[in-house]
């Protein structure tokens, strides 16, 4: 690495990090929260005994998981305007990522709910709980514990996937890098720098995941 390279890395570090702080991270957090709400609803629908309800959930999950995220993003941002529905870059990105997380996390949450032993439902019944109360107070807290590791992985994937939002003009970490790279012509060094920053963010998230799991483990035998 030459001195010129090094000063470019240092100079570009703040603008790229700004892209992460103002773009990548909020985009990931907002989309993940909305996606989780969708996921719980879809998971409960999927578990419904009513065929139409579980059918709709099944269809949603299949559609989301069976199509590329990039295509979903393009349908919303570039496709919808042609039927008269123009959505700005940020809302488009949030919509696409939320819908996507909703599909993947729904399966995780469904599996987690099913992993709670039947005896827990029965004990809740015996103390007089309705199914709704049992779900909220007894089943979901236990399912949450089980779903933390896979949901953390979903979140980490999402953070990386937000780089796709650069294709619909959202100013996030990667788009910021692309602009500096196009201007300076130093593609290799700048894209490696972007990769490094993504990596650091993901390492921090993994560390956070470990701490969260330990905390949640307090009532489980080791």
Residues that bind another protein (CB under 8 A): 117, 119-120, 122-123, 125-129, 133, 137-138, 141-142, 145, 218-221
Nearest CB to another protein, comparing residues 3 and 117: 117
Alpha-carbon span 202 to 157, nearest angstrom: 9
Q: For residue 27, how many other CB atoms are within 10 A of its CB?
A: 23
Is the separation of the CB atoms in 159 and 201 below 8 Å? yes
Nearest CB to another protein, comparing residues 42 and 124: 124
Who's near 195: CB < 8 A, 6+ residues apart? none
CB of 214 to another protein, least distance (A): 15
Is the separation of the CB atoms in 38 and 102 below 8 Å? yes
CB of 21 to another protein, least distance (A): 35
Reference 43, options 91, 124, 130, 111; nearest CA is 111
What are the residue ranges of helices labelled H in 20-88?
25-46, 51-65, 69-74
- Structure tokens belonging to residue 55: 């059918």
Nearest CB to another protein, comparing residues 1 and 126: 126
Nearest CB to another protein, comparing residues 119 and 185: 119
Nearest CB to another protein, comparing residues 18 and 142: 142
CB of 221 to another protein, least distance (A): 4
CB of 128 to another protein, least distance (A): 4
- Structure tokens belonging to residue 145: 């514990």
Residue 144, classified by CB atoms within 10 Å of its CB into exposed (0-12), middle (13-18) or buried (19+), is middle
CB of 144 to another protein, least distance (A): 9
């Amino acid at each position: 690495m030459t001195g010129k390279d090094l000063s470019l890395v240092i100079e570009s570090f703040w603008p790229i990090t700004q892209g992460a702080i103002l773009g990548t991270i909020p985009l990931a957090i907002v989309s993940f929260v909305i996606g989780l709400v969708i996921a719980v609803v879809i998971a409960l629908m999927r578990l419904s005994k009513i065929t139409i309800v579980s059918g709709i959930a099944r269809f949603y999950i299949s559609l989301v998981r069976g199509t590329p995220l990039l295509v979903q993003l393009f349908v919303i941002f570039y496709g919808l305007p042609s039927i008269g529905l123009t959505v700005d870059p940020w809302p488009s990105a949030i919509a696409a990522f939320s819908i996507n997380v909703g599909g993947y996390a729904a399966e995780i949450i469904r599996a987690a709910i099913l992993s709670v032993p039947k005896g827990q439902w029965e004990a809740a019944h015996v103390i007089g709980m309705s199914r709704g109360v049992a779900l909220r107070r007894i089943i979901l807290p236990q399912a949450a514990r089980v779903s933390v590791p896979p949901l953390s992985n979903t979140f980490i994937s999402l953070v990386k996937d937000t780089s796709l939002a650069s294709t619909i003009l959202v100013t996030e970490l990667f788009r910021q890098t692309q602009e500096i790279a196009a201007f300076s012509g130093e593609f290799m060094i700048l894209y490696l720098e972007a990769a490094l920053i993504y990596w650091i963010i993901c390492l921090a998230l993994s560390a956070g995941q470990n701490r969260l799991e330990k905390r949640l483990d307090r009532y489980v035998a080791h």
